Structure 1
Amino acid sequence: MFGDLTGMMGKLKEAQQKIEETKARLNTILIDGEAGNGTVKVTVTANKIVKNISISKELSDHEEIEDYLIIALNNALEKANNISETELAAAAKDGMPNIPGMDLFK
């Protein structure tokens, strides 16, 4: 019985390590979002860290820039969130021990 418990604890540690490795890898995945037909562009990592903001010189209306920036950021962050959730769920499922009746990731 304790052999099984030791094995499960090892698998849980493996799962935790895979999740941490996945989080580190997500910092290298860049996602772009844009608004105003590309006049405002943002780049974020899959861990939702803003890396770049580009605003076209043809925009001069302060309120328009703010609105487009919000749209572009939300667009990029939504994409980043989807990638992050998918990758972390896969890493967690991959490393979880097979416990009968405990299918947490369907």
Structure 2
Amino acid sequence: MFGDLMGMMGKLKETQAKVGETKKRLDTVMVDEASTDGLLKVTLTANRQIKAITIDDSLLEDKEQLEDYIILTINKAIEKATKVNETELAAVAKEGMPNIPGMDSLFK
């Protein structure tokens, strides 16, 4: 009984370490998003940290339009990055979980 418990604790620590490594790796995974017309481009990491914003000069003439572009494009980029992040972390977590009936549906 205690051997199983110790084994599960070891597996949990191993999984935590893998999750930490995955989070670090996701800092290097870049997600690009652009407005539909390509006038504004945003790059962020899969951990949702903005790395670059490129704005076409034509957008600088209309502050309100530029603000709308920034909000829409960044929100789309964050949504994309979140999906990558969640998929990667769920895969690592699922890999390290003991086989408990009914638990596998949590990581789909």
> TM-score, normalization: structure 2?
0.91
- Aligned to 2:58, what secondary structure does the other structure show? coil
> In the alignment, residue 87 of structure 2 is paired with which amino acid?
T
Q: How many residues align?
A: 106
Return the alpha-carbon distance in structure 2 between the equivalents of residues 101 and 83 of structure 1. Answer: 24
Please tell me whether the aligned partners of residues 36 and 68 of structure 1 are also in contact (alpha carbons under 8 angstroms). Answer: no
- Distance change (3 Å), C-alpha of 1:101 and 1:38: closer
Q: Distance in 2 between matches of 1:40 and 1:101?
A: 45
Point out 4+ residue stretches in structure 1 off by more than 4 angstroms: none
User: Which residues of structure 2 form unaligned runs of 5+?
Assistant: none
**Deviation sequence 1:66-101 (CA, Å, 0-9, x none):** 000111101110100000010000010111122345
Supply the distance in 2 between the matched residues of 1:84 and 1:33 (Cα, whole angstroms).
16
Mark the runs of 5 or more structure 1 residues left unpaired by the alignment.
none
What residue number does 1:22 align with?
22
Q: Kindly indicate whether structure 1 or structure 2 has the higher relative contact order, using CA contacts under 8 Å at least 6 residues apart.
A: 1
Q: What TM-score, normalized to structure 1?
A: 0.92
Question: Among the aligned pairs, what percent are the same residue?
Answer: 60
Partner SS for 2:52:
strand
